[in-house]
Chain A
């Protein structure tokens, strides 16, 4: 029997962008408010899981052509590189640093190297979660 899930697919096209925006907001709010890399990565993988439910696994592979094991490796490289970068400036391991910059349109911003460490956490969480779900979903 060919089932028609047009309503689910149309709702998914709108909802995935809202969930991804929420995950990016949670990621960047983590320094001053509840949130951070872990919950942001979990919500981003929740958006990809919604795509996997509405469409099949081949279509999602075509939409997001990532090898999620390599995404995990990139995240670990980010975190390890950020924590090891302090050694080049004669500081202990995992020392973080921030500075104020003045980009043209955005006004005064503080750039912190902890954001790079959090990016690594985000990528590791997305990669591990999607690897688990795709491995379980593919096995017959």
Chain B
């Protein structure tokens, strides 16, 4: 019963990711695509959390923090490139 609930949650997260991928492809401006990619990273964190509950392992919990940090650094670098035209000045 609990596993069925987890699979339903995975299904809804995958629907949300499909919507974000649509925004990445279709988005009229570049900041729309950057925000959609950031949202994809956060949804990936949720997917890994639910998968590690389904697989009953705690080996993936470091990956969650890792993806959070990498998504933050990537978004900040993209934002600085869009604003100033260079990432490291």
Contacts and interface: CB of A to CB of B under 8 A. Distances in A.
Interface residues of A, number: 23
Interface size class of B (residues with CB under 8 A): 10 to 19
Interface SS of chain A = helix
Given A3-B83, A22-B65, A46 B76 contact: no
A53 B73 contact: yes
B77 interface: yes
Contact of B89 (A33, A49, A56): A56
Nearest to B58: A33
Interface in B62-88: 62, 65-66, 69-70, 72-73, 76-77, 80, 83-84, 87-88
B88 A46 contact: no
5 contacts: A43-B66, A46-B73, A49-B73, A50-B73, A53-B80
Interface of B: 59, 62, 65-66, 69-70, 72-73, 76-77, 80, 83-84, 87-89
